[in-house]
Amino acid sequence: DYLDALKVVYYVVKADGQYRKAEKEVITQYVKILVRDARITSEMIDAALQTVDIPTIHAFKLAVGRITKGGQIDPSLLNKCCKEIVATQGAVHSSEQDALDYIERKIAEQSVLMTSGNPKNGLPRRQAPHND
């Protein structure tokens, strides 16, 4: 159920080519909240990520799109997790920044669509014709 979220965090983690213990801890805390299960361990996260290929940029973008449109996963919580992953290091790799920027942009776009009336395409809802 949460494969897209795993793809996104895994892409961000691997954007700089490394996967550090501090990043694993951030992901573990995020997944505990996501699945509402405090029993999640970093070993479980490792096992889950081993079943997922490192996402391509295309797979990452598709996963972000499904999350921002789907409503099952809170995109702002995912965004916070990704920012915390990047913050575990002193420097931000350009690929990490690009990923963070993309997530922010997709969240903002979906927010505009939701507030403009029609969550499917962003166009105002059509009113039924009045038969007077």
- 78: nearest Cα among 11, 30, 26: 30
pLDDT of residue 29: 96
- 40: nearest Cα among 32, 52, 30, 48: 32
> What does the alpha-carbon distance between residue 10 and residue 119 come to, in Å, rounded to a whole number?
28
pLDDT one-digit tens code per residue, 46-77: 998 888 889 999 999 999 999 998 888 899 99
Q: What angle do CA 57, 36, 44 make, to 5 degrees?
A: 60
pTM: predicted TM-score of the whole model, two decimal places: 0.80
Q: What angle do CA 19, 21, 25 make, to 5 degrees?
A: 110
Residues 6+ positions from 123 with CB-CB distance below 8 Å: 116, 117
- Tell me the percentage of the chain whose pLDDT exceeds 70: 86
